[in-house]
Amino acid sequence: WVSNVCVTLTAVPRNYDPALHPFEVPREYTRALNATKLERVFAKPFLSSLDGHRDGVNCMAKHPKSLSTVLSGACDGEVKIWNLTKRQCIHTIQAHEGFVRGMCARFCGTSFFTVGDDKTVKQWKMESPEYGEEEEPIHTILGKTVYTGIDHHWKEAVFATCGHQVDIWDEQRTSPMCSLTWGFDSISSVKFNPIETYLLGSCASDRNIVLYDMRKSTPLKKVILNMRTNTLCWNPMEAFIFTAANEDYNLYTFDMRFLESPVTVHMDHVSAVLDVDYSPTGKEFVSASFDKSVRIFPVDKGHSREVYHTKRMQHVITVKWTSDSKYILCGSDEMNIRLWKANASEKLGVLAPREKAAMNYNQKLKEKFQYHPQIRRIAQHRHLPKSIFCQIKEQRIMREARRRKELNRRKHSKPGSMPFVSERKKHIVAVVK
């Protein structure tokens, strides 16, 4: 093997005397400005669209062992398994009659579970059937009520479904090991904690979020919010943190030990948030909304760092962050699954060491000068469709009006009779022990 570069690169001694390299701040500022501009120039997050479903995509599941495989269930009961590298559908199953309400893969990646409107829980093999074999589920469980969600335990052969109550099933049995109830209402989603695997979180349509302990088979605590929570997702790196996607356009990140008020309120969406999924690094999460956009939030920030939308993308129902933390998948009403880059301007493929060093340097510069107005202006600029843009404006006005009204009310009432309520506490109705 012969290097393409014929010239041998020799170390050139360099004098780092600051007197010889003046104007470091202006020079770095210029570099930062250029880096920021380039970042915006190269921000092309949309990679491809996986089409093939014949109805809206209702749920998705990641393969726990393979990065290139993803599963999706549609509103017509069809389940498709996709290969992301080829961007093709590998396999299609007509799993249910009516909606596929929820799906999850087994931790070993050999099979997956689906629940549907036909009151069944079905377990399927991940591989397509052999030649001459018929497409049949491994197990089918007939239930009494409709199941609306399912999640699998991260280590054991146990899964949980939700509907009228949260049921915990052993894979080998046809009746649940235990049923967890606290009040009667339809529960929309249930999720196992990925770290402390005996913990469960669920959200019901009577506006509450309930935590359960599988060991004691008892619910733990309930927090009631102003509006209904659609889904929740546990942080895969921080055992006690979870984020709830709420109907009131916000997301709430809770610490399960202190449910009285959320740690952070994430607000940017202009319509109900339908789904949320954490990055495997636990530093960010992605949310899908009814307002036809997908947003990426840092865990500790109240506002999103990125918004993805396309003209053709309708209400986004489900969203997943791939397990290599590089891509985002979103399934929407108009039957497509879209693949996005998690970092919009990231260069894909193998990078040369010098390229990598340059990228790191640019990143650092952007971080360093992020408070400078010109750089911030460029870095924060995003294009939004008119509908979202107008809605944001409208909501800003509404919020301002509300604030003003409160201010006036406070001004004209007895001092102390109108206490200040922080934004975080405003949305919590009660915590039930």
Binding footprint of another protein on the chain (CB under 8 A):
16, 18, 21, 24-25, 27-29, 31, 62-67, 130-132, 154, 194-199, 211, 213, 216, 218-221, 236-241, 256-257, 280-283, 323-326, 357, 360-361, 363-365, 368-369, 371-374, 433
Shortest distance, position 9 Cβ to another protein, whole Å: 13
Q: In this complex, which beta carbon is closest to another protein, that of residue 163 or of residue 194?
A: 194
Q: In this complex, which beta carbon is closest to another protein, that of residue 179 or of residue 271?
A: 179
Q: In this complex, which beta carbon is closest to another protein, that of residue 15 or of residue 417?
A: 15
Q: In this complex, which beta carbon is closest to another protein, that of residue 160 or of residue 241?
A: 241
Q: In this complex, which beta carbon is closest to another protein, that of residue 67 or of residue 392?
A: 67
* CA dihedral (28, 33, 36, 42) positive or negative: negative
Shortest distance, position 412 Cβ to another protein, whole Å: 32
The answer to whether residues 67 and 80 touch, using CB atoms and an 8 Å cutoff, is: no
Shortest distance, position 97 Cβ to another protein, whole Å: 30
Shortest distance, position 345 Cβ to another protein, whole Å: 14
* CA dihedral (242, 245, 251, 252) positive or negative: negative
Q: In this complex, which beta carbon is closest to another protein, that of residue 309 or of residue 320?
A: 320
* Residue of 101, 103, 55 whose CA lies nearest to 81: 103
Shortest distance, position 362 Cβ to another protein, whole Å: 9
Shortest distance, position 228 Cβ to another protein, whole Å: 22
The answer to whether residues 386 and 395 touch, using CB atoms and an 8 Å cutoff, is: no
Shortest distance, position 335 Cβ to another protein, whole Å: 27
* Residue of 74, 71, 67 whose CA lies nearest to 125: 71
Shortest distance, position 20 Cβ to another protein, whole Å: 10
Backbone angles phi, psi at 388, to 5 degrees: -65, -45
Q: SS in 3 state form for 140-186?
A: EEECCCCCCEEEECCCCCEEEEECCCEEEEECCCCCCCEEECCCCCC
Structural element, H or E, at residue 361: helix 353-368
Helix axis angle for 373-380 and 24-41, nearest 10°, is 10
Structure tokens belonging to residue 187: 């529960």
Residues in the chain: 433
User: Residue 35: what residue type?
Assistant: A
Q: In this complex, which beta carbon is closest to another protein, that of residue 238 or of residue 333?
A: 238
Q: SS in 3 state form for 259-298?
A: CCCCCEEEECCCCCEEEEEECCCCCEEEEEECCCCEEEEE
Q: In this complex, which beta carbon is closest to another protein, that of residue 131 or of residue 420?
A: 131
The answer to whether residues 321 and 278 touch, using CB atoms and an 8 Å cutoff, is: yes
Gyration radius (Cα) of the chain, Å: 25
Shortest distance, position 73 Cβ to another protein, whole Å: 20
CA 275 to chain centre: 6
Q: In this complex, which beta carbon is closest to another protein, that of residue 141 or of residue 375?
A: 375
